[in-house]
Structures are given as structure tokens and as C-alpha cells.
Structure 1
Amino acid sequence: MAWRDGKASLSRLMLFMASIILGIAAVVSIQLFSDNLKQNIQKQSKSLMGADFIIDSKKLLSEKVLKIIDSLGADASEVNFVSMAAFPKNKGTKLVKVRALEGLFPFYGDLTTVPQNAGKTYQELGGALVDATLLLQYNLNPGDSIKLGKVTFPIIGALKSIPGSTAISSSIAPSVLIPYRFLQQTELLQLGSRKEYQYFFKAPEMDLELLAEKIGPVLDAENADLDTHTSTSKQLGRRYDNISRFLNLVAFIALLLGCIGIASSVHIYIKEKLKNVAVLKCLGASRKQSFYIYLIQIIGIGFVGGIIGAAIGTALQFAFPYILQDFLPFDVAITISFQPIIMGIILGVLMSILFALLPLLNTWYVSPLEVLRGAEDNLQKPKKARILVSIAILLFIFLFSFWILKSALNGLIFTIGIFITFAIMAGVSTLFIKGIKRFFPSSWGFTKRQSLLNLFRPNNQTMVLVLAIGLGTFLISTLYFTKDILLAKTSLENKKTDANIILMDVQKAQASALVNTFKSKGLEVIDNIPIITMRMEKIKGKTVNEIRKDTLIKMRKWMLNREFRVSYRNHLVATEELLEGEFFGKAEKGKPIYVSIADNMAKDANLKLGDAVTFNIQGVLMETIIGSIRKVDWSSMKVNFMILFPEGVLEKAPQFNVITTFVPNEERSADLQRDVVQKFPNVTILDLRQVFTIVEDILDKISWIINFMAFFSILTGFIVLIGSVRNSKYQRIKESVLLRTLGAKSKQILQITALEYVYLGLLGSLTGILLSLVGSQLLATLLFKEPFIPSLIPFLVFLPVITILVVVIGLSNLKSVLRSPPLEVLRKEV
């Protein structure tokens, strides 16, 4: 009976199915790609690192660490740091990551170069391998030269890839490989230079877990780290897990949207079938039989929809390596695993049943006599059953989000967020309907009145269409506003008080000469900040080594190994706010030295006002007391510090300077950089305009990926819209035919329908945009700590475009009604 009845309504059941296919496709494709990522990371863990394990440190290695490295037998080593490069051919300059290598690294994976053998010959020939994109940008070729500090290297080849690098990291500071033996001659490493020492090991038979257990704590105590290919692959896996969880949530929202479409469509479908159910019951069919007929149909929809969705998702995952290629440090080999496919099919069936149960309950509780008499309003309302089904739906959403997010709290927050969003949109549509009923414009013309009446007629689609349109608009508008917030944080205004050029690693002897260079070019020095490097030696009377061994102390261990860059001044700046204590700007002789720390450091180090901290300032121990705690705006591009000393303490300590200035245009910026690199090759120049261009490009790529996933939600919303509108077509045919019989012209019917969908499109999209405004304001205030200035694009573009699409879909239903004579349609209905 389910098969026979289903064949008669095949086209409508296909629309139900379409509502869920895209959501299943999105979930399956992301699950499959996540599985592929994990498998690839495990298989390529050695290739990603280029070695079996690495010992690294950001400071000169101690004797103890060097003995460990000698005993293990390092096969290659590297010193890497960020510096300025100059290109004599065209007088260009660029911030690059210099990697001074010794030995045949990498041991696994490929050092891809053009020409192919350049990776093997550059050390012997004494040349450099330069990032391929950088060569294109500056119109350079192998055979040209690159100047790093005091040494000019011939460019041996273009570097296309090296283990561990990504397109994103290369865009910020492209890699340049040079032989280690030339490092000292460059004179780039000066006081304050940030550098990293790395030693690479090839030991395929070694038990890396045992190695980490034995020497890990020893290295930690000496401010060094051990990274194995297995631990690095786990860290990388966790990083991409967060991305896949986010994408899974977007896909799940698309699936939920599809389920709303199923619930709405089944509601209309079952309402039309109630007379059939009543006849079956009169002929002796039981409640179970009549219920199972339509339940089997829904299971079939979910099963077939799940299979089609899983097939589309399987095909779609082949596109993800191209979409995410800028974010992946390796090529992903695609394989098919059956677990996500089976999960997608089960999910399709389960969610179809869950969301169709509420309308299906009517077949259980319908009384044959009442329906035969046409008294639909007197149908028994199964409140308990409806409450139980609603609880089951919410429980399912929570369990699925908990499974994706691996956190009960986050799963609960997501479920509550979905419920609130849906409730607001449902509330808006309900209030809209009630408002029209109460304040109905009786003086309006016939077509306008009739279009408004359609919004609250029996079997109207106002709520489901507002939900479908509103949620899709809400998603894409929120993504758009969030991107605006992120870009606003990195925007540079044309103010001379805001620096856009930062010079780092300026040695004390160079500071005055650099200031003169600025003056000769008509530039003002905005900041000239002294910086001293130091580490913490004791905290509250306990040495750093004692704290490392004490597992009971509640403290983030990252700061025990950190080399802090500290400054001194007698005042707070605009990016700082005093939270606790008193800021001491000047030290008094014979009295304790009071320092000011940032609130995040106070939290991570578990420090309070009055606590004692001893700093090791390049071999000299200095005792201090926490005098104040500041809130620092780290999102600003100003030079900020975790630790501030008062004046009168550090002036004679070994130090370097950071100097900032404002350059009005790119031409003068390039001119300044050329001069500085020529005269002071060790100085690192950060052009914030270039950095922000890169950041904007990264945000564009990220937003493209997010929009690609939001596309599933939006497209599902439109499929729900088409399905809902198509199914409401059968309710409208009689109304349209009766209007034509009474003398209404095709033009009037067209206007009535168009106006109705204009109202629905405007209401849904406007609700979505306004909700996204609220959500974006909360994000800006609570997460980004940034003022939110909404863009007009969602109002000027999204609102009219979505409304027009809704109208076009709505009007497409009228073709058969307008083309057919009223009598023919009435006969078909009979």
C-alpha cells in the first residue's frame, strides 16, 4: 500500500528527498575528507617533518643539550630567522625567512626545486634557494642574486616546496635556503634577533615514545624541545580537527534546514491523505497499519536520500584538496572509507523519521467519522506524543553536536543556539501573521488584500519559508559581517600618528643614524622603544627548574621557557588599561623594583599583586615585585609588552630598539626600505601595509571556504523553499481556479502570488539580516573587542536578490494553473 500510494505521489516525494540530500552530502563529504586527512597525516608524518625527530631551541644550546645531540648523532642542522633580503637586479627588498642549513635535509619527503637538482647542489655551490613565488613577484630567475646582510648569494634555483611549509606561511615570509657555513659572514644575527636552532635526526628504528620520556624533561629544563614525527602529526591532526568540526556544524545546519523542509512538506502531504486514512480505517485498517503505510514512505525517502547524498558527498570530497590547498602542508591522497557513507545513510533515515513524526502522528489519532464529516479542526491533538517527539529531536541534535565537538558543554550551547535562532524566526513569522490578522488593511485593493490573506490561510507556508529563507540569509550575512570585523581590525587609517613601518632589531649604536635617515626623508619617528631580553629565574621564591618538576603548581609552563622582550617607561599608553595596583613609572633608590604585568600573564603564571619574581637579565639576576596588572589590547598593531619596568633600572642593560614611523605611500616606503637594507642589513623592516594585504588575502581564502560550506545551507534553504512552494501548489490550485471561474484574470492571480512571495522573501531575508546584525555585534563586543560598523551590502544586495529568487520560485508554480482552462483543472481535482 505504501508503494502504491507512493507511486501516485512520486514527484512530491522526490521534493521531500531533495530537502535532505544536500545536508547528507555536506556531512558525508566533510567526514570522508576528515578521515582522509587523518590517514594522510599518519602516513606522511615523516615527510611533513622531513625527519624522525627534531631537537630545537630559541636560544644558544647549553652544554648538556649539545652532549645529548652529539650522543644521538644529528644528521642535519639549521638556524632560521626572519630578516630582510635585497635584490640587486631591481633594487627590491622583502621580508624573508632565512634557513641556514647544514646536511642533506630533508630525509623524508621532497625538497622540490627548479631546476630539479638545485636542492642537492646549492650547499656545495654556495648559493641560495629562493621561494618560487618570490622570484615571480620580483621578476628574478636562477642565475640572478640575492643579498642577505653582508653576503650576496647567487640564486641556484626556485624553491617550490619543503616539508612543513604552507602557502600561507610562505606568503608572509617566503623561505630562502642558504648554506650554514655562510651564516656568520652575513652578520644578520645581532643582539635581540629572534632565531631558532634545529637539529634533525634520522632514526627509523628508534622507540620515539621512550626517547621522549627519557630526554624530554631534561631538554625542557634546558629551554629546548623534542618534537617527534608522531607527536607533530598528532598536533597537526588536532589543528585540522577544529576546522573539520566547524565545517561539520555548517553542514549539520544545512541538514537541519532540510529536515524542516521535510517536516513542512510531510505536514501538507499527510493533511491531504487524512481522508484516505479515514477510508482505510472504515474498511478495517488498524491505527498501526495506516501509520506504517506513510512511515514506510518516509523511511524510503530517508534511505534513498541518504544514498544519493552519500554518493554526492563521496564525489564532492575530491574537490576539497583544491579548496584547502593553501592551508595544507602536504598533498592529500583521496581514499574511500565506508564508515562516513554508512553514517550518512543512517543519518538520512533517522532524521527523516524524527522530523516527519510530528505530522505523521495525525494519521494515528485521526477519527474516521470526524474526517469524513470534514471537521479537521476537531482532530485530537496528541500533546504527550508531540512533546516526546520534540524532546527526541532536541536530544538528537545535542548528541550529534556533542559527537562533532567532543564537548558536552559546547554541544549544549550549539543546541540552545539553534533552538533560540529557530524560535526567534518562528516567533517573528507568528507575530507577523497575528499582526496582519489584527490590523488587516481592508481599504487595500483586491489583489493586495488577497496576497496578505494567503499568508494566514489554511495550510499556509509562512513559518517554514521564513525559517528557510531567514536561516540561509542569517548564515551568509553573519559570515559577511564577521569578515568585515576581522578586516576592520587589520585596516590602516591614513593617520600620521599611527605607524605603518616598524623597524626591529635596531642596535643601540644604529638608533641615532636611523633617526637621521628618517629626518632626511621627511619622516617623523613615532616610537623609539628600547627592548631588553630576559627570562624568569624565580617565581615566589621557587626556581624555574623546581616549578617544572612540581606537578601540583597551577601554572602554564610555556612562560618558564619563554624569553621575554621587556621595555621600560614612566607612563601607560592608549592600548593599556590599569586593572589592579599602582603603576610605578620611576624606580627609587633603596626601594623594591615594582614591575607591571599584563593580565593574561598574571593568569597564566598565577601571579598577584605583591608577588616576587626574579628575572635573569642576560646573566644578571634582578629581584622585582608585581606592582600592577594591566589589560593590554594585543589586537592593535602598536608595540605592546607583557612586562614593563620603571625607568631608572634597565638603561645600562644590553638592549636593542624598535623604531616606528608613518610613510604616506608605497613609493616612499620602498625608498626607505632600500636605504635601510643597504646601510643596516641586520635591521628587520615590517611594512604593515604589506602584512595587512596578506592578512586580507588569507581572510578572503578562509571566507571563501566558509562561504563554500554556507552554500550548502543556502542551497538547501532554496530546495526547501521550492519543495514547500511546490507542495503548497496543490493547495493553491483550487483557489486560483475558483478565482478564474469568478472572473479573475491571469494577471491578477500572478500579482497576488508575486506579492505574497515578496512579503515572504522580505520578511525572511530581513529577519535573517537583523539576527546576523545582533550576532555580529555580540561577536565584535565579546570575542574581537572591536567596534562593529555594519556594512550596507547585506541590505542592498542580499535582501533584494533573495526576495527576487523567492518570487521567481513562487511564480514558477503558476504555469500549469494559468495555462489550463478552469474546467480541466477542476476535473483533474475530482
Structure 2
Amino acid sequence: MAWRDAKASRVRLLLFMSSIILGISAVVAIQLFSENLRDNIKRQSKNLMGADYIIDTRQEPTERAQEIIDSLQPDAMEVNFVSMIAFPKNGGTKLVNVRGMEGDFPFYGTMKTEPNDASKNYQNRKGALVDATLMLQYNVLTGDSIKVGEVTFPIIGSLKSVPGSNAVSTSVAPPVIIPYSSIDDTELLQFGSRKEYQFFYKASDTLDLNTFEDKIDPMLDLANADLDTHTSTSRRLGRRYDNVGKFLNLAAFIALLLGCIGIASSVHIYIKEKLKAIAILKCLGASRKQSFLIFLIQISGIGVLGGLIGSFIGVALQGLFPYILKSFLPFEVEMLVTAQPIIIGILLGLFMSVLFALIPLLHTWYVSPLKVLRVSEEPQQPRKVRTLVYCSILLFLFLFSFWLLKDASYALVFVIGAVITFIIIAIVANFFMKLVRRFFPKTWSFTARQGLLNLYRPNNQTVVLVLAIGLGTFLISTLYFTKDILLSKTEVGPTAENANIIILDVQSHQREAMASQLNESEVPILDNIPLVTMRMHQIKDKLVNELRQDTTRQVRGWILNHEFRTTYRDELIASEVLIDGEWTEELEPNEPIVISISDNLAADANVEVGDKIVFNVQGVLMETTIGSIRQVDWGRMQLNFSIVFPKGVLEDAPQFSVFTTAAENEQVSANLQRNLVEKFPNVTIIDLRQVFNIVEDILDKVAWVINFMAFFSIITGLIVLIGSVRTSKYQRIKESVLLRTIGAKNPQILKISALEYLFLGALGSLVGILLALISGLCLALFIFQEPFSPSAIPFVVFLPGITLIVLIIGLSNIRSVLNSSPLEVLRREV
């Protein structure tokens, strides 16, 4: 019976199954990719690092750190820093990441170069390996030369990849590798230069790296150094990409939730049409169990088949993700198909179908044989049964979202939000029906009155369709608004008033010469900011060394090891707002030193106005008191500081400067950079135009990923919409035939149906978008903590677009009524 009935209703059930297929395919594709990503990170962790473990420090190793480093006997070492380089062949200049290397690194994986042997002999030949893309950009070849500081190196080969780098970091500062022994000759490492020393180790197979890290890392922390093992790095990298996976999973869950809505609305209308047939079966002697099982088997079979098809589509789709995300991955992902996500997909198809179809399916259990005679009688389900089913659905949503997001609180918020949205849309639909009934326009034309009557008379489809349309629009619009928040959060753009060139590491004796050079180049000096480096020695009444060993401390770890770059000035800048205390402009000699700190530093250091902090300023201890706390907008493309001193304190301290200027165009910028690198080879120049281009390129890729995932939700939503409206046609055909029988003409029937679906489409999509607007505002304020500037796209595109789709599908439902005689239509429907 289940098979015979399914064959007779295959078109309607196909739409029902398609909403399952898309939701399952999205989940399976993302789960498979996430699983493959975790396995690849675990399997390739040594290749990603190039060593078993690394000791690194952001300054020359202290005496104690050097003792530990030497005792472990490093197999290779490097110092890396960002600097400007020049190409003598064509006069080009570029900001690069200079890596001075010594030893046979990497021990795992390969440093890919062209020619292949360049990675083995560049140290002996005192040459350089230059990023392959950089060589193409500046039209240089192997055999040409590159100037790094005061040394000109022959280019031994082009560098295609090296362990530990990724496409994003190399696009900002491409790597250039030179011998470690030549670093001093470049004269680039001067006072205040940002640098990192790394020592690479190859461990024996018997060494337990976790135990080793637990023992050595605390000792290195006290010596201002750090230990990274390939296992801890793979865990950290895995957590980073877990966040990407959570977003993708959330998008997949939205697609799946839309599929669930499609199931519930389709089966509700489908079973409603079958109630009379079930009543006849009961009159002929069929039991409750038999009539229930006929449709349960039918729905379960469709769920399993939909899950199976969706799983296979998901397997095919997951192969696309490495290409979509390759710019963000530091390795190639080897894709393997495992059975677990496929089995989960099939089981999801079964459980989703049965669970979300259970309420309408229970109508078959409680329908009375009298339904044959009493057409308007609706089967009444016991409240306990309905409550149990609803609780099961909520439990399923919670468990599944918890499985995807791995966070109970997020899963609970998501489910509560979905339920509240569902309830609000249902209330709005019912309120709209009552409103139409209460203020029914009796003076309107016959067709307009009939269109409105369809919204609230018996067998109306208002609640079901408004729920399907509204929830679908809500989820899609929320995803769209979220995308806008994510992208606007990192939007950048140069302006005529802002600096677009930053010149770093200008030494004290170079300051006047730099200012003269900028004036000669006819570019403005927008900022000349002095920088003084220091570390925290004591916070309130506790030494930093004591805090490092205190497991109960309330101070964040980064503060205890961070080298702060501070400045001094007598005024606040545009990106700062004073939120506590008083700003001090200048101090007289021997006055107590008061400083201003940023709000995030105050929170992480657990300090407030009036607390004391002792700094180690290059060997000299300086006691200060917090005089004010500032809120700093770190998102602005300008130099911001966590710690600012007043004038009259740091003027005589060892320092260097940062200049900012603005070049009118790329040619002026290129000429300026070439002149500065020639006269001041130690300075680092950041051209913000290039940064803008790189960031915009990254944002375009992020937007592509978000839009790719939104595609699943939009397509699923459209299928749910088509399924819901198409299934509802069986309720309207008989009514339209009766209208024709009593004399209604085709244009009148067309107008009646058009008005009904116009009201339903407009109401459902408008409610969905308004709820999405509230949802987006809450996300912006409480999650992203960003101003919310909603896009007009949902109102301009989604609202009329979805309304039009509902109208077109609704009108297509009555084609058979308009094109055939009433008797012919009735016979065909029977």
C-alpha cells in the first residue's frame, strides 16, 4: 500500500525528498572536509613545521635562554625580520620577510625551489632564495641580484614553498632566504628592529614531546622564550580551522533546518489530503497501526533514499572545498572518503523525515472512519502526544547543533532562537487572519473578497505557508546580514586625508635626514612618532617572574612576556576616547610618572586607575602609576598604542621613530621608496595601497566562501517554497472548480488565486526579513560588537523576489482548472 500510494504521488514526494537531499549534502560535504582537514593536520604536522620542535624568542636570547638552547643542541637556526629589499636590475623595491638560515632545515617536508638543488647550496654560495611570485612581479631571473641592506646577493633560485608559511602571509611579505652568517653584514638589525630568533630541533623517536614540553616550556617562559612542538602546533592549527568549520557547519545546519521546514509543511498538506482515504480504509477494517505504518514506511523510505542521494552529492561536493579554501591553508589537503559522514547522512535523512513528519503522520492514527461522512472534521491528537513529539524535535535540534558546534551554550541559544522565531511567525500569521476577519472589506470586489477569504476559512494554508516562507526568508536573510557584518568588520579603504605610507625603524640619528628627504620628495610629514621599547617588571605588588609561575594569577600570559612599544605625547588622537581617569599632557622633572593605558590592556592585566606598574626600560627600572584608561579603536589603519606616556619622561630614553606620509599615486610612492631604501637601507616601508589590495583580495575570497554556503540555504529555501505551494494546490483545485461550476470566469479565478498567494508571499517574506533584521542587530551588538548597517538587498531583492516566486508557483497550480472543463478536472483529481 505504501509503494502503490507513493507511485501515485511521486511528483509531490519528489519535492519533499529534494529538500532532504540538499540539507544532507551540505552537512556531509562539510563534515567530510572537516574530518579530512583534521587528519591532514595531524598527519602532516612535522612537514608543516619542518622540525620536531622549535624554540623561538622575539629578542636576542637571554643568557639563561641561550644555555637551554645550547644544551639541547639545535640542528638548525634562523633569524627572521621584515625589511625592504631592492632589485638593482630595475630599481624595484619591496617589503619582504628576510630569513637568515643556518643548518639543514627543513628536516621534514621539502623547501621547493627552482632549480631543485638551490635549497641545498645557497648557504655555501652566499646567495639568496627569492619568492617565485615576487621574481615574476619584478621581472628578475635566477642569476640576477638582490640588495638586502648593505649586501648585494646573487639570486641562486626561486622559492616556491617552505614549511611554516602560507599564501596569506607570503602575499603581505614574501620570503627571501639568505645565509645566517651574512645577517650582520646587512646592518639591518639595529636598535628597535622587530626580529625573531628560531632554533630548530630533530628529536629521537623515543622522546615524548608532550612530557618534554611540560618540562622545558615553563623554564623558557621565565627566560622570555617559547617552545613549540609539532604536536602542539597541529593542535593550535586545528583549533584555528575548527572556527572555519563551525561557520560552515552553521551554514549547513541552516540548509538542513530549511529542509526540516520543507518536510513538515509538505507532509502536513500531503497527509491532510489522504485523511479521507485513510477513513475509508478504517471503514473496510484497517487498524490504526496499519494505516499509520503505510505512511510511516513511505516517509521513512523517502528519508533513507534522500539521505543516501544527499550523502553521495556531499561526497562529490567536499572535493571543492580545498580549492575554495586553498588561500587559507598552508598545505595541500589529501581528500579521503570515510564511511562515518555517509552513515550519519543516511541516518539524518531517516530521523529528519520521521521526526518532522510525525505530527501530521499522527493524524492517520487518530482519524475517525466518520471522516468519510464528516468532511470538515479534523482528527484531534492528545496534548501529551503532541508535547512529546515537539520535545523530541527540540532535543534533536539541540543534540545535532551541539554535535556541529561543539558548544552546549551556542547550541542552546541557536535552538531557542529558532523556536522563538517559529512562534513569532506563527503568531503573526494567526494575528493576520484574525485581522482580516475582524476588518473584512465588505465593499471590495468579489474577486478581492474571495482572495482574502481564502486566508482564514476552513482548509486555509496561511499558517503553513507563512511559516515555510517566513522561516526560509529569515534564515537566508540572517545569513546575508551576518555576511555583511563579517565583511564590514574588516573593510579598509585609503582616503586622501589618511597616511598611505608608514616608515618604521628610523634611528634617532636618522630622524632629521629622514624629514629632509621627505620634504625634498615633496610629500607631507603627517606623523613623526617616537617609540621606546620596554617590558613589565612588576604589576601592582607582584614581580612578573612570580606571576609567570603563579597558576592562580588573573593576568593574561601575553602581558608577562610582551615587549611593549610605547610612545609619549600631550594629546589624544582620533582613534582614542578617555573612559576613566584624567589625561596628563606633560610632567615636570622629578614628578611621579603617570601613564595612560588601553582598556584591553587594563582588562588583561587586571589593573585600574591608581595601580602601579614598574617597567624595565632597556635595563632601567621605572615606576609608574596608571592615570587614565583609553578606549582604542584598533580597527583603524593608523598607529595605536597600548601604553602612552606624557611628555617630559622618555625624551632621553633610547628610541627610534615612525614617520607617516601620503603619496599621491603609485609612481610617487615607488620613487619615494626607491630613494629611501637607497639612503636608509635599515628602514622598513609599508605601502598601505598594497596592503589594501591584499586585504580586499582576501575579503573577496572570504565573501566567495560565505556566498557558496549561502547557496545551499537559498536553493533549499526555494525548493521548500516550491514544495509547500505546489502541495497546497490540491486544496484549491476543488474550490476553483466549484466556482467555475456556479459561473465564475477564468480571469476571476486567476485574480482570486493571485491575490491569495500575493498576500501569503508578501506577508511571509516581510516577517522573515524583519526578524532577520532584529537577529542581525543582536549579532552585531552582542557577538561582533560592531555597528550594524543592514544591506538593502533583502528588502529590494528577497521581498519582491520571493513574493513573485510564490505568486508564479501558486498560479501554476490552477492551470488544469483554467484549461479544462470542471467535470474533467474533478474526474482527473479523483
Question: What residue is the counterpart of 2:138 in the other structure?
Answer: 138
Secondary structure, counterpart of 2:140 in structure 1:
coil
Partner residue, 1:516: 516
Residue in structure 1 matched with residue 671 of structure 2 by the alignment: 671
Aligned to 2:225: 224
* Other-structure match for 1:238: 239
The verdict on how the C-alpha distance between 1:500 and 1:729 changes in structure 2, with shifts beyond 3 A counting, is same
* Of 281-290 and 765-774, the range deviating more from structure 2: 765-774
Amino acid across the alignment from 2:618: Q
- What is aligned with 1:351? 352
1:482 counterpart (478, 481, 485): 485
With over 3 angstroms needed to count, the CA separation of the structure-2 counterparts of 1:193 and 1:809, relative to structure 1, is farther
* Paired position in structure 1 for 2:406: 406
Q: Which moved more, 1:817-826 or 1:164-173?
A: 817-826
Closer, same or farther: CA 756–701 of 1 in aligned 2, 3 Å: farther
Cα distance in 1 between the residues matched to 2:451 and 2:759: 9
| 1:307 paired residue number | 308
Aligned to 1:651: 651
- Judged with a 3 Å threshold, the aligned counterparts in structure 2 of structure 1 residues 663 and 809 are, in CA distance, closer, same or farther, namely farther
Deviation at 1:821, TM superposition (A): 4.3
Match of 2:706 in 1: 706
SS at match of 2:621: strand
Q: Deviations over 1:188-218 (max 9, x none)?
A: 2222111110111112423212321221111
Q: How many Å apart are 1:452 and its aligned residue?
A: 4.4
Which residue is equivalent to 1:117? 117
Q: Is the 8 A contact 1:309 1:344 kept in 2?
A: yes
In 2, Cα distance between the equivalents of 1:666 and 1:612?
47
1:375-417 CA-to-partner distances (Å, cap 9, x unmatched) read: 325x425333222222221222122222222222122112122
The structure-2 alpha-carbon separation of the partners of 1:448 and 1:178, relative to structure 1 and needing over 3 Å to count, comes to farther
**1:453-476 deviation per Cα after TM superposition (whole angstroms, max 9, x unaligned):** 444452425323423541354145
Residue 279 of structure 2 contacts residue 369 of structure 2 at CA under 8 Å; is this kept in 1? yes
Could you tell me which runs of 5 or more consecutive residues in structure 1 were left unpaired when the two chains were aligned: none
Write the mapping of 1:781-800 to structure 2, written as runs, cut at 5 A: 781-800=781-800
Alpha-carbon contact 1:129-1:156 (below 8 Å) kept: yes
Question: Matches of 1:151 and 1:811 in 2, distance apart?
Answer: 78
Closer/same/farther in 2, CA of residues 691 and 773 from structure 1, 3 Å limit: farther
Q: 1:441 to 1:673 in 2, by over 3 A?
A: farther
Deviations 1:220-249 (A, max 9, x none): 110111111111111111111121122111
> Which string of whole-angstrom CA distances, capped at 9 and with x for unpartnered residues, describes residues 343-376 of structure 1?
2222221122221111122222222225532132
C-alpha distance in structure 2 between counterparts of 1:244 and 1:2, whole Å? 40
SS in 2 for 1:124: coil
How far apart, CA to CA, are the structure 2 residues paired with 1:20 and 1:518? 65
Q: Deviations over 1:34-81 (max 9, x none)?
A: 111111111101001011111111010122222322222211111111
CA contact (8 A) 2:276 2:371 kept: no
TM-superposed deviation, 1:751: 5.3
Greater Cα shift, 232-241 or 384-393: 384-393
Name the counterpart of 1:500. 500
The structure-2 alpha-carbon separation of the partners of 1:636 and 1:481, relative to structure 1 and needing over 3 Å to count, comes to same
Structure-1 residue corresponding to 2:175? 175
Give the direction of change, closer, same or farther, for the CA distance of 1:47–1:820 in structure 2 (3 Å limit).
farther
Q: 1:465-517 CA deviation, whole Å, 9 max, x = no partner?
A: 42354135414531453255235x423333x2x32222211111222222222
Matched to 2:322, the amino acid is P
Cα contact 2:261–2:468 (8 A) shared by 1: no
CA shift, 1:712, in A, is: 1.0
Letter of the structure 2 residue corresponding to residue 186 of structure 1: T
How far apart, in 1, do the equivalents of 2:767 and 2:635 lie?
32
The residue type paired with residue 463 of structure 1 is: V
TM-aligned CA deviation for residue 556 of structure 1: 1.1
**Is structure 2 residue 61 aligned with structure 1 residue 58?**
no
Deviates more, 1:225-234 or 1:389-398: 389-398
Equivalent position amino acid for 2:349 in 1 = G
Quick one: structure 1 residues 33 and 789, their matched pair in 2 at CA, closer, same or farther if it must change by over 3 Å? closer
Equivalent residue number for residue 92 of structure 2:
92
* SS of alignment partner, residue 334 of structure 1: coil
Match in the other structure for 1:187 = 187
Asked whether the equivalents of residues 278 and 372 of structure 1 are also in contact (C-alpha less than 8 Å), the reply is no
Partner of 1:281: 282
Aligned residue in 1 for 2:105: 105
Deviates more, 1:787-796 or 1:700-709: 787-796
Matched residue, 1:464: 467
What is the Cα deviation at residue 558 of structure 1? 1.4
Residues 397-436 of structure 1 mapped to structure 2, 5 A cutoff = 397-436=397-436
State TM-score, norm by structure 2. 0.94
Secondary structure of 1:516's aligned partner = helix
Q: How does 1:551-570 map to 2 (within 5 A)?
A: 551-570=551-570
What is the rounded CA distance, in whole Å, between the counterparts of 2:816 and 2:215 in structure 1? 79
Tell me the equivalent position of 1:270: 271
Conserved 8 A contact 1:537-1:614: yes
Give the Å deviation of 1:536. Answer: 0.9
Unpaired runs of 5+ residues, structure 2, are none
Higher mean C-alpha displacement, 19-28 vs 668-677: 668-677
How far apart, CA to CA, are the structure 2 residues paired with 1:427 and 1:85?
66
Tell me the distance in 2 between the aligned counterparts of 1:144 and 1:45. Answer: 35
Residue in structure 2 matched with residue 661 of structure 1 by the alignment: 661
CA distance in 2, matches of 1:138, 1:803: 54
CA distance in 2, matches of 1:753, 1:135: 66
Per-residue CA distance 1:694-753 (angstroms, 9 max, x = gap): 222212111211211111111111111121122112223223444455565656555555
Q: How far apart in 2 are the matches of 1:589 and 1:287?
A: 95
* CA apart distance, 1:817: 4.7
Alignment of 1:310-389 (within 5 A): 310-370=311-371, 372-377=373-378, 379-389=379-389
Give the Cα separation in 2 of the matches to 1:136 and 1:816. Answer: 65
Measure, in 2, the Cα distance between the counterparts of 1:541 and 1:752: 80
Q: Answer whether contact 1:425 1:466 (CA < 8 A) is retained.
A: no
Which stretch of the first structure deviates more once superposed, 274-283 or 441-450?
Answer: 441-450
Judged with a 3 Å threshold, the aligned counterparts in structure 2 of structure 1 residues 152 and 376 are, in CA distance, closer, same or farther, namely: farther
Aligned length: 826
Structure 1 length-normalised TM: 0.94
For the 8 Å contact 2:265–2:465, the answer to whether it is kept is no
Show the 5 A alignment for 1:723-802.
723-741=723-741, 749-750=749-750, 752-754=752-754, 756-802=756-802
Give 2:580's aligned amino acid: E
What's the CA shift for 1:264? 0.6
CA distance 1:272–1:325, shift in 2 (3 Å): same
Seen in structure 2, the aligned counterparts of structure 1 residues 791 and 303 have a Cα distance that, compared at 3 Å, is closer
CA gap 1:424/1:137 in 2 versus in 1, 3 angstroms: farther
Question: Quick one: distance in 2 between partners of 1:743 and 1:356?
Answer: 39
User: Do 1:469 and 1:761's aligned partners in 2 also have CA atoms closer than 8 Å?
Assistant: no
- Shift of the 693–50 alpha-carbon distance from structure 1 to 2, 3 Å rule, reads same
Q: Is the 8 A contact 1:2 1:294 kept in 2?
A: yes
Cα displacement (A) at 1:326: 0.9
Write the distance in 1 (CA, Å) between the matches of 2:114 and 2:433: 68
SS of structure 2 residue aligned to 1:517: helix
2:470/2:766 contact within 8 Å kept: no
Counterpart Cα distance in 2 of 1:829 and 1:520? 89
Contact 1:57 1:198 in 2 (8 A): yes
The one-letter amino acid of 1:490's match is: V
Inter-partner Cα distance in structure 2 for 1:370 and 1:652: 96
> What secondary structure does 1:552 align onto?
coil
Query: What amino acid does structure 1 have at the position aligned with 2:389?
Result: V
CA distance in 1, matches of 2:249, 2:591: 58
Give the whole-Å Cα distance in 2 for the aligned partners of 1:21 and 1:272.
24
The answer on whether the counterparts of 1:758 and 1:807 sit within 8 Å (CA) in structure 2 is yes
Q: Distance in 2 between matches of 1:480 and 1:762?
A: 24
Instruction: Check whether the contact 1:78–1:180 (CA below 8 A) recurs between aligned residues.
Output: yes
Range moving further from structure 2, 720-729 or 758-767: 758-767
Alpha carbons of structure 1 residues 317 and 785: separation in structure 2 relative to 1, 3 Å: closer
In the superposition, relative to structure 1, how do residues 165 and 792 fare at CA in structure 2: closer, same or farther (>3 Å)?
A: same
